[in-house]
Amino acid sequence: MKKAENTGKNRYEKIIPALGLTVLALAFAGLFVGSSHMSFTECVQALMHRGSPAQERIIWNIRIPRVLAAVIAGAGLSLSGLIMQTDLNNPMASPSTLGVSNAAVFGANLSIIAFAGGFLSTGHNVNNYAAGANPYATSLMAFLFSTLSILLVLALCRLRSFQPGAVVLAGIAIGSVWTAATTILQFYATDVGLSAAVIWTFGDLGRAVYRTDLIMAVCVLAGFLFFYAMSWKFNALLSGDAAAASMGVNVDLLRFFSMLAASVITAVCVSFLGIIGFVGIICPHVTKRLLGQDHRVTVPVSALTGSILLLLADTLSRSLGNGSALPVGAITSLLGAPFFLMIIFGGKGARN
C-alpha cells in the first residue's frame, strides 16, 4: 500500500514540473506568432533589443503582455472553476454560475455607453468617444459590479445556509437580471457606444498591458496560496457537509470565503480582458479525471492546465486571424461547448 502511495506521489511530482515546462514552452512559442509576420530571427533580435524600434515595440509592448495575460488569466479562471465545482458539488459550476460575467458586462456597458461614448456625453462622434473613453474606468466599473453581484448572491444564500443548490439558482437569477439591464442599456445606446460595448465583451488578450498583468497576477497568486492552504478542507468537503463538519471544518465559512475569492479572481480577469468562457469548466474536469480529486494536486495542476489552454487558444486565434487576432473568448467557447455537452450527456460528469 505504501509503495502504491509513493508511486502515485512520484507521478504527481513528475506531472507538475512537466506541465510547468509546457507552459513555459508555449509562452515562448507565443512570442513568435502574430499578424506582423516577423521572422524567427527578427523576433529573437527584438527580444534581445537588437531589432528595429517597431519590432521591439511589437515584442515587448504587445506580445509579452499578451502571453503573460494568457498564463495568469488561464490559471485564475481554471482555479475559480475548480473551487466552485467543489463548493457547490456541481460538475458544471464555473465562474459564470454566480453571474460574475453578466455583472461585468453590465458594468462595462454602463461605463462605455453612459459615460464615455453614449447617450450621456459624446453622441455619435467617434472622435469624441476616443477622447472620452477610459479603459481603466471601464475595467473598474466591470469589477465593481462583478463584486456587487458576488456579495448579493452570497447574501441571498445566507438565508438558505449556503446550500449548493441555492447558490446556483441565486447565481442564475442574478445573472439574468444583469443581462436584462445590459439589454436595456444597449437599446438606448448610440451606434458608437453600442459598437464599443459589444467589442469589449469579446475576450481579447490584446488589451493586456504590464500594469493589468501585475494586478491580475497579485490576485491570482493570493487566491492560489489560499486555495492550496485550504486543500485539506476542500478534500473533507468532498465527503459531504456532515463529514467535513465532523473533521472540524466550518463549512459555511469555507464556502463563503472560497466562493468570494474565486469570484474576485474571475472579476479581475474579466474586467481587464472581457469574457473568456469555459476555461473554468474544461481544465478542472480534465485534471480531476486524470489525477483524481485531491486538491493538493488539482489546485496546482488546474492552474497550469488553465494557462496551457488559454495559451493554445490565443496562439490559435492569432494564427487564424488572417492579419488580425480573433477574440480568444470565441476560441475557448468553440472548444468548451462540445466539452460542456459531453459532461451533460456523457454520464460520467454527474459522478465526478
**Residue 276 placed within a domain:** yes
Percent of the chain with pLDDT over 70: 86
Hey, how many other C-beta atoms are within 10 angstroms of the C-beta on 207?
18
Is 60 exceeded by the pLDDT of residue 189? yes
Q: Quick one: cell of 235?
A: 478534500
In this structure, the chain runs to a length of: 352
Q: Where do we find the cell 527580444?
A: 47
Cβ(278)–Cβ(335) under 8 Å? yes
**Residue 53 placed within a domain:** no
Q: Using CB atoms within 10 A of its CB, is residue 48 exposed (0-12), middle (13-18) or buried (19+)?
A: exposed
Q: Quick one: cell of 239?
A: 465527503
pLDDT-derived band at 116 (thresholds 50, 70, 90) equals low
User: Higher pLDDT residue, 209 or 201?
Assistant: 209
What CA–CA distance (Å, rounded) separates 150 from 194? 26
> Structurally, how many domains does the chain consist of?
1
Is 70 exceeded by the pLDDT of residue 321? no
- Please give, one letter per residue, the 3-state secondary structure of 109-176: HHHHHHHHCCCCCCCCCHHHHHHHCCHHHHHHHHHHHHHHHHHHHHHHHHCCCCCHHHHHHHHHHHHH
Q: What is the DSSP letter of 293?
A: S
CATH of the domain at 193: 1.10.3470.10
**Residue 34 placed within a domain:** no
What CA–CA distance (Å, rounded) separates 189 from 198? 11
pLDDT tens sequence across 126-178: 454 444 456 678 888 889 998 899 888 888 877 776 677 777 788 888 999 99
Q: Give φ, ψ of 264 to 5 degrees.
A: -65, -40
**Residue 97 placed within a domain:** yes
204-230 mean pLDDT:
95
Task: Of 61, 64, 55, 60, give the one whose Cα is nearest residue 36.
Answer: 55
**Residue 61 placed within a domain:** no
Cβ(224)–Cβ(217) under 8 Å? no
Is 50 exceeded by the pLDDT of residue 44? yes
Domain extent for 104: 2-28+67-350
Cβ(311)–Cβ(74) under 8 Å? yes
Would you state the pLDDT for residue 351?
A: 43
**Residue 233 placed within a domain:** yes
Is 80 exceeded by the pLDDT of residue 269? yes
Is 50 exceeded by the pLDDT of residue 4? no
**Residue 225 placed within a domain:** yes
User: Higher pLDDT residue, 158 or 272?
Assistant: 272
**Residue 55 placed within a domain:** no
Task: Of 92, 27, 166, 150, give the one whose Cα is nearest residue 339.
Answer: 92
Q: What is the pTM of this model?
A: 0.88
Percent of the chain with pLDDT over 90: 47
